[in-house]
Chain A
Amino acid sequence: AQSVAQPEDQVNVAEGNPLTVKCTYSVSGNPYLFWYVQYPNRGLQFLLKYITGDNLVKGSYGFEAEFNKSQTSFHLKKPSALVSDSALYFCAVREGSNTGKLIFGQGTTLQVKP
């Protein structure tokens, strides 16, 4: 069965430093992977996705994610964090190739301090 794990409940980083939010997955077949961000009292916003192709995926707000098949990981990264990046981040994997269902991780709170 497909699953996704975010091993860190919270990540703290200083403004201007690079950030990484970790995600690992388990799928049968080709993975379809997604990152979402949720700001307080808002719905989830799509950041980026990996379907196939280049292992480095670029998304919104300067975020990127690196797909690593051998390590079954899809970590979210940003070269220079902003205080405004502080939010809840979700990794998700599509349940199967013929379904629209997504399986979400538990979420990681990113705290960027000035």
Chain B
Amino acid sequence: DIQMTQSPSSMSVSLGDTVTITCRASQDVGIYVNWFQQKPGKSPRRMIYRATNLADGVPSRFSGSRSGSDYSLTISSLESEDVADYHCLQYDENPYTFGAGTKLELK
């Protein structure tokens, strides 16, 4: 199975920060990476699809990028509503696999 190594596992952040979360794929997954935001007690919300595409209704301060096998989610000028858990997913190959998640916490 393809491993998605996500880092960091947690991050202490301040409002207005630029935050970057990364997933490294253990083998080539092309553009087939999604990023999800999840708040307590809620379902995951797709934020980025196909590595770099902003999902409908997602604020433009969110962006996705790819460099080789490294995939990143960047949040520019963090707002309070962005404090949540974030998960990456590869869907290039079965079984689809998620990263272990990143928890953002306010300082």
Whether A associates with B in a native complex is no
